[in-house]
Amino acid sequence: MAAKKRVGRCRRGVGASDLAQMGVCERLVKFERHCGRRRTSDQLQAMDRGRRAHARFYLDRHDDGRSRDRCFVATLVFGEAPETRVLRRFRDQVMRPRPLGRGLIALYYRSGPKVCGFLERRPRLRPIVRWMLSGFASFAARWLEWQEHLHDQ
């Protein structure tokens, strides 16, 4: 996506990055019009780095600290279904009170948007993930039931 932005971006009017080049060197604008684009190897490397950074930036677009209550992958594959609620309860009641659980939650919230981005681009994988998560959700439901049973006793 970022690549589209950098290379020959517009047919209608001037592109923002083409115009920005006026702030670098006006002579370069004219050279590129007459001789085509030329890049040094350092510039090509920098462009490649920029493309990768933009791809990451796009995938991380929701990871801004405001969606911490969401269960990214479960919401993506189930929507607001009973499985999502069970997984959320498992996270809050079983994982959150324990240091290891909190660590895993933190790691999950850093990586969840990436996993979602990956799954969004590969819809065929979603049924497999749904099957695995529903298994995990039923395990979590049993665990929660067992905990409640212990609590009642």
Partner 1 sequence: MTSSALVAGLLAGICVAVGMLWLKRHRAGSPVLTLPRELRKARLLFAERLFTAAGQVAISARVDRAYRVASGAIVLLELKTRDIDRPYWSDVIELSAQRAAVELQTGEMVADHAYVTVQRPGGVEPSVHRVQLMPVSKVAALAARREAILSGKVSPSYARSAGVCRRCAFARSCEKISGKGGLHRTNATDVAPNAAHGSRPRQD
Residues that bind partner 1 (CB under 8 A): 1-2, 4-5, 9-33, 35, 38-40, 42-43, 46, 49-50, 53-54, 56-58, 60-66, 104, 107-108, 110-111, 114-115, 131-136, 138-139, 142
CA 95 to chain CA centroid, Å, is 23
Least separation in angstroms between CB 96 and partner 1: 16
Q: Is the CB of 11 or the CB of 151 nearer to partner 1?
A: 11
Nearest to 92 by CA among 62, 122, 71: 71
Q: Which is nearer to partner 1, 43 or 147 (CB)?
A: 43
Shortest separation between residue 152's beta carbon and partner 1, angstroms? 20
Report how far residue 84's alpha carbon sits from residue 71's, in angstroms, rounded to the nearest whole number: 7
| Torsion on CA atoms 111, 68, 104, 51, rounded to nearest 10 | 10
